[in-house]
Amino acid sequence: MIDANGYPQNVLVIGGGSEIAAAIVALLAENGLERLALAGPREESMAAVRDQIGPVVSTKLFELDLAEPERAGPVIDDAAAWMGTLDCTIVAAAILGDQTRDEVSPERVAVSLTINTVGPAAALTAVANRVESQGFGEIIVLSSVAGEVVRRRNYLYGAGKLGLDGFALGLAERLRPRASLLVVRPGFVRSRMTAHLDPAPLATTPERVAKDTLAALFAGRTIAWSPGILRWVMMVFRHLPRGLSRRIPF
């Protein structure tokens, strides 16, 4: 169940190895989190999250590779059966890939969009159905500013997030007011996933994103930016003439 301050007792993370999701879960663990289901393709990264959260929370790992989107439904059923209710679901699964390598490969493009858009959309649908029938629930979808304005340097990842972002916003309307769905648009996050890249301006951390996410969730918002200033930066950016915006070097 969810308490009066918005804190869930049970949490499912799709993309259980995600550092941002782990930072969110760490905050929830200080506020009554009891059961944590981590679903993802790599056991070792999920085990690391489990160890980081510690024994206060009862954690179970579920093998799920969103490259096979049709597997999402059954895995979510298993996780929900273990937990009892799906109080809060964090959809964090994504691959960044290597733009220059992947952009010329039809196979890699298909895999990237499957993992970043099709798989999460399938998972979200299974979660939404369950949340609708159980009569309450919170859903957090990790999108990205990369999907807000798709750029040359990471258009494959950006297009994937753009698709997911739009899908999630539509789903939020379907679920309103039965459940709250929050789309989180972080800027450049310093994490394992981006360790090999030069940080973009306004770079943030998983911990900062986690804080902003919960603040927005409890305030009942549908979209969260992290850092918050990105909302205004991207609003301007989106309206620049393309001839100008394509020359901005990040």
Give me the residues that bind other proteins (CB under 8 A), please: 1-7, 9, 30-32, 34, 84-85, 133-136, 177-178, 215, 218-220
CA distance 207 to 171: 27
CA distances from 211 to 21, 63, 135, 137, 228 (A): 11, 28, 26, 19, 11
157 as an active site residue: the answer is yes
- Answer for the pair 64, 75: CB distance below 8 angstroms, yes or no: yes
* Least separation in angstroms between CB 248 and other proteins: 34
Nearer to other proteins, 30 or 44 (CB): 30
* Least separation in angstroms between CB 198 and other proteins: 32
Nearer to other proteins, 4 or 244 (CB): 4
* Least separation in angstroms between CB 56 and other proteins: 10
CA distance 157 to 170: 20
Nearer to other proteins, 177 or 201 (CB): 177
- Answer for the pair 114, 69: CB distance below 8 angstroms, yes or no: yes
**Which alpha helices (DSSP H) does 84-184 contain, by range?**
99-102, 106-113, 119-134, 155-175
Nearer to other proteins, 215 or 235 (CB): 215
Nearer to other proteins, 199 or 220 (CB): 220
DSSP-derived secondary structure letter, 200: P
* Least separation in angstroms between CB 1 and other proteins: 4
Q: Determine phi and psi for 4, rounding to 5 degrees.
A: -65, -20
Annotated catalytic residue: which of 157, 167, 188, 225? 157
To 5 degrees, how large is the angle CA 138–CA 27–CA 82? 55
- Answer for the pair 143, 161: CB distance below 8 angstroms, yes or no: yes
Tokens coding 142: 């990790």
* Least separation in angstroms between CB 152 and other proteins: 38
Catalytic residue ranges: 157
